[in-house]
Amino acid sequence: MRPAIREEEQEMKMEEDGKPPTKYMDPSMYKAGKEGNFTALENSIRKYGEDEPRLGLLKLETRKGNNLVHLAAESGHEDFIKQVLRKCPQLVAKPNNSCRECAQLVDKPNNSCHGADMPLHVAARTRHFKVMETILSEAKLREGKATTETPCTQKMKEMENGGTARINTSLLRKKNGAGNTALHEALRNGDEKMGMLLWREDEEMVGSVNKVGESALYVAAELGFEKVVKEMVNFLESGRQCEGVRDRALRGPEGQNPLHAAVLAGSRNCVEALINLQGSDMINKADDNGRTALHFAAKAGEKDIATRLLLTNRSSAYTKERTHGRTPLLEAASSGHLHVLREILEHCPDTVEVADDEGRNVVHLTLNCGPKHSKAVLRLPELVRLVNEADLFGNTPLHVAAGDLNYRMVKRLLKIPGVDLRTKNYEGCTFLDICKSKWQYTKRKDYLYRYLKSIPAGRKPQTWNHPAGQPTSLDKPEADLKGHANALCVVATLLATITFAAAFTLPGGLAPEVIDALPPLPSPLCNFHDSPQQPPPAKLSGQKYLKPGHPILIGQPAFKVFILADVLAVSTSLTVLFLLISAMLAEEMALKRTIVYSKKLLYISLGGTMVAFIMGLYSVISTDVVWLDFAVGVIGLSIPFLIKYFKFKSFTSTPVFLHRLLSKKSSKKPWSVNWNGKVHNNSVLRYN
């Protein structure tokens, strides 16, 4: 007879109470359990004969502590489970190893294990509904056989339970290593049907709390299981539960309650059911961080849920959370949820006066929520008056926007008529002082200076000593002049190559040579006078005969523009190359000036290349296709506008938007100012 387990495969599993070592499950039995093959299991047991007790073989476990029912429950073999439990019903309540024991296994050091899982936990986690029903029915059958009650007493208990027999609650309430019951596992893994089945077997499990602090009601609300939540709430309102079940059912992690979870899940029906729970007052209850359900709704942007909470009780709108001291209105502002912000202002308009722990109001917190949101916030009349309010450091929203280099927001704040440009923070700095110290590029300082000179005198700030010079990025000590020059050389070389090649591949081609047009020699058998005649020289309609090798489209105006633009592009790009090559070994100042001139010439070369391409394409298109001519013209003419548009969008590091505002306002009223010995006015604006 073969031993049940080979000696070399045995491993010792000593426990603290001094129990003797146990044997592990044979591989053939393991395979039978995973496949749900009861015949193979019988054959595997039969091999050992009478040397090993039959019941003892069925109780063997894997190294993780799983018995045959665990294996079959994980694979979903309900028939196999039924047959095994008929032979050994004790396996239904047998847990596997704890997480501590699993972590000590040498062959599985990183094995993740929930620990102390019963077959009910495994079936719930793997969402095998039939397996769950089988385990529950076998447990009921086992308890029915073991009970000493008479059939009449059992019938009366079934009638009290609604006509159905119920399982012993001790099995359903057993927890695994994480403190989860089978109900927790079913709900957490998204099986609402199985969760309802388990809860109806023992309604008191609504107050079962795991080690994280989550009750079964909290998990159901977090997953948005509306049917389960409504049934549990109705049970709590009925008063049939034992003492303390209601309080435990309303618990959640970090001091939260099921209403917090329902808000985060975005389930309106769950929120409605929990709000209607009498005597709970979950709306005003805050978690360990001081956040109420309205805080969660404002943070998540749930407008409808926020409206329902405000209609029920508005007092939570004035509650401050403990981390930053923000009310739900400030949470909505910092998260960029304008629709929730408007809803809170509609029900509680005085919440706009509440600031956070650093004294920041709604406008302060909306600065970093994107231009669209901040622009919409500044349109609200209730919030416009907050633009001059300072925080605990004396910074107004204009100070904060300037310090964060938020140029778009600076522009929008400057457009508000009542904004105060002279306000100083507690360090004695106006927003212009912040611009001077943090804005590194000359253009934004120059544009801002010109704009401030164009506004009415009553709103002018104190004098700002704008530098007289016009430094650029090339004036910095760390500027890589040779790197700039090399980059310009590469661009100029590419442009020269493209435009030079275009000069010898003219659009439309050249007039054919005479030798190419000669006919083939006539056959001796044919009449000499019947031979084909030589075609005349090439001619365009409405034009003179062209000499061989001349451009065919030379008479079209678009072709002439192509020639001029191509010559301009070649000339300017070659000029840039000559200038940069000659200045590479020159002094630093000469190289710097050469780079400035080369950039301007490259712009001309790029423009000439663009015009040459458009005109060359336009000249070869047939005049019969009117829509194609129109499309080429429109696309070509739109290129400068596209460049300007995307330059405005991309160059947020320069105050282009202030320049737009300056151009609109300065055109209404002329101005002139003496700045460091130079007269500046709005008649001519120069930009670097």
Paired tokens of 624: 């019969």
Contact predicate 348/314, CB 8 Å: yes
Q: Which residues of the chain have pLDDT under 70?
A: 1-22, 48-53, 98-115, 143-169, 439-479, 511, 513-550, 622-624, 647-688
- Cβ neighbours, 10 Å, residue 362: 27
Contacts of 157 by beta carbon, 8 Å cutoff, 6+ apart? 149, 165
SS3 state at 545: strand
Burial of 338 (0-12, 13-18, 19+ CB in 10 A): buried
Q: In degrees rounded to 5, what are phi and psi of residue 100?
A: -65, -40
Helix or strand (DSSP H, E) at 448: helix 442-454
The closest alpha carbon to 12, from 99, 94, 105, 97, belongs to: 105
SS3 state at 674: strand
Contact predicate 545/537, CB 8 Å: yes
Contact predicate 347/317, CB 8 Å: yes
Alpha-helical segments (H) within 204-267: 216-222, 226-238, 245-249, 258-265
Contact predicate 259/293, CB 8 Å: yes
Paired tokens of 309: 């909470």
Contact predicate 170/206, CB 8 Å: no
Radius of gyration for the chain, computed over Cα atoms and rounded to the nearest angstrom: 42
What letter would DSSP give residue 98? -
What pLDDT, on a 0 to 100 scale, did the predictor assign at position 650?
62
The single-letter code of the amino acid at 615 is M
Q: In the chain, what are the domains?
A: 1-201 (1.25.40.20), 475-674 (no CATH)
Q: What is the DSSP string of 102-144?
A: HHT-SS-TT-----S--HHHHHHHHT-HHHHHHHHHHHHHHHH
Chain centroid to CA 496: 45
Per residue, the 3-state secondary structure of 632-663, as one string, reads: HHHHHHHHHHHHHHHHHHHCCCCCHHHHHHHH
Q: How many degrees, rounded to 5, is the angle at CA 208 between CA 207 and CA 213? A: 100
What pLDDT, on a 0 to 100 scale, did the predictor assign at position 475?
53
What pLDDT, on a 0 to 100 scale, did the predictor assign at position 97?
73
The 10s digit of each residue's pLDDT in 582-607 is 888 777 778 888 888 888 899 899 88
**What's the CA gap between 307 and 317, in Å, rounded?**
11
Contact predicate 434/440, CB 8 Å: no
What pLDDT, on a 0 to 100 scale, did the predictor assign at position 146?
47
Q: In degrees rounded to 5, what are phi and psi of residue 678?
A: -120, 145
The 10s digit of each residue's pLDDT in 545-571 is 566 666 777 777 888 888 898 899 999
Give the dihedral of Cα atoms 220, 223, 227, 233; nearest 10 deg: 40
Contact predicate 621/510, CB 8 Å: no
Contact predicate 249/216, CB 8 Å: yes
Question: pTM for the full model?
Answer: 0.66
- In residues, how long is the chain? 688
SS3 state at 362: helix
